[in-house]
């Protein structure tokens, strides 16, 4: 009200601009002057001029209006889920590049969303955190996801054997697991739901041997370092081979048939976080993949 009159220096034009009649505008300006204890305008029959107090008030009044506009825009953005916090848990050496791609896009497209990243050692705890609502999204390799959790396949992967560069098979591109009978293995710690642990057991038993695990590594980065140090070979996935660059390690595709391995994105279908939906939409765009029909309906393994 004050700014309209101050900028127009005419009560009639200010009233038109505000889509009001002139008398209410005059009354409200008078009330403001009484509240402030000083005149804001010098009025005559021919003109309206700002007093020193009125001129001093204009920058503050503009700041107040701008703050109100920002608050209104923030409220609207929050209603659309464009502000807030989304937490993502991920596991393994193979997902950090994907996570970085999404984090950059969230920052660019939705600067009002705080995208918090939390690296986990293993995939199963990351999925459990989705169930507890500790995080909004998890990335991992699960053969099954529990009821109430929705999922999407990000990447379908294949098994590779990581061997030292000095290994007798290092020059091969493809191998069968039977060729590693009697070899020392480096493996991740055994835990329920471990996809790599499951595939190593299945394939080695199918090949007629029990793997000789000489050392457990806390994560894939460490496992690959141990392979490079010639401690043993390690069964891993193709995305690890794509993300680990160590001249002392070679990756050989495993030809044995086994269950498919999927890197999945999982989230609670009943989440009440309004910022989650925009991030999921962005993930659909930057992570080419496909819907996971099985993930939404089967129980946890």
Is 237 found in the same domain as 176? yes
Is 195 found in the same domain as 132? no
Is 145 found in the same domain as 270? yes
Quickly state the pLDDT bin for 76 (edges 50, 70, 90): low
Q: Per the structure block, which two tokens stand in for 241? A: 């081979």
Q: Domain holding 147: CATH number?
A: 3.40.190.10
Is 268 found in the same domain as 140? yes
Q: At what angle do helices 11-18 and 22-36 cross, to 10 degrees?
A: 110
- Structural domain includes residue 299: no
- What does the pLDDT average to over 267-284? 91
DSSP state, 233? B
Q: What is the pTM of this model?
A: 0.66
- Structural domain includes residue 25: yes
- What does the pLDDT average to over 288-297? 63
- What does the pLDDT average to over 274-294? 85
Q: Which of 79, 112, 128 is the last residue of a domain?
A: 79
| Ordered strands of the 261-268 beta sheet | 113-120, 84-91, 137-140, 261-268, 149-157, 290-291
Quickly state the pLDDT bin for 301 (edges 50, 70, 90): very low
Per-residue pLDDT tens for 207-242? Answer: 999 999 999 998 888 999 999 999 999 999 998 998
State phi, psi for 187 to the nearest 5 degrees. -140, 160
Look at the block and give the residue holding tokens 């009821």. 147
- For 135, the 3-state DSSP assignment is coil
Is 122 found in the same domain as 39? no
User: What pLDDT score does 71 carry?
Assistant: 63
- Structural domain includes residue 300: no
Is 282 found in the same domain as 149? yes
Provide the domain count of the chain.
Answer: 3
Q: Domain holding 37: CATH number?
A: 1.10.10.10
Per-residue pLDDT tens for 82-95? Answer: 678 999 998 766 67
Is 16 found in the same domain as 55? yes
- Structural domain includes residue 287: yes
**Domain ranges, residue 27:** 2-79
User: What pLDDT score does 18 carry?
Assistant: 84
Q: Which of 56, 79, 102 is the last residue of a domain?
A: 79
């Amino acid at each position: 009200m004050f700014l309209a009159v101050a900028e127009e220096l005419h009560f009639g034009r200010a009233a038109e601009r505000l889509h009001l009649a002139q008398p209410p505008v005059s009354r409200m300006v008078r009330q403001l002057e009484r509240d402030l204890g000083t005149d804001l305008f010098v009025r005559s029959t021919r003109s309206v001029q700002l007093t020193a107090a009125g001129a001093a008030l204009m920058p503050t009044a503009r700041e107040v209006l701008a703050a109100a506009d920002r608050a209104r825009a923030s409220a609207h953005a929050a209603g659309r889920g464009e502000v807030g916090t989304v937490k993502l848990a991920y596991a393994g050496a193979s997902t950090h590049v994907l996570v970085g791609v999404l984090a950059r896009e969230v920052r660019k497209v939705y600067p009002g969303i705080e995208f918090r990243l939390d690296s986990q050692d293993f995939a199963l705890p990351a999925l459990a955190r989705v169930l507890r609502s500790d995080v909004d999204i998890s990335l991992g390799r699960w053969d099954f996801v529990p009821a109430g959790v929705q999922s999407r396949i990000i990447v379908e992967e294949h098994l590779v054997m990581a061997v030292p560069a000095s290994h007798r098979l290092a020059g091969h591109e493809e191998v069968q697991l039977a060729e590693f009978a009697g070899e020392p293995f480096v493996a991740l710690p055994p835990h329920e739901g471990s996809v790599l642990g499951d595939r190593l057991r299945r394939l080695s038993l199918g090949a007629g041997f029990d793997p000789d695990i000489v050392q457990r590594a806390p994560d894939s980065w460490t496992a690959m370092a141990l392979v490079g140090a010639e401690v043993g070979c390690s069964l891993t996935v193709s995305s690890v081979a794509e993300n680990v660059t160590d001249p002392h390690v070679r990756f050989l595709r495993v030809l044995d048939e086994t269950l498919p391995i999927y890197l999945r994105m999982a989230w609670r279908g009943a989440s009440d976080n309004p910022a989650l939906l925009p991030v999921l939409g962005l993930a659909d765009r930057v992570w080419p993949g496909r819907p996971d029909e099985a993930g939404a309906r089967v129980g946890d393994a």
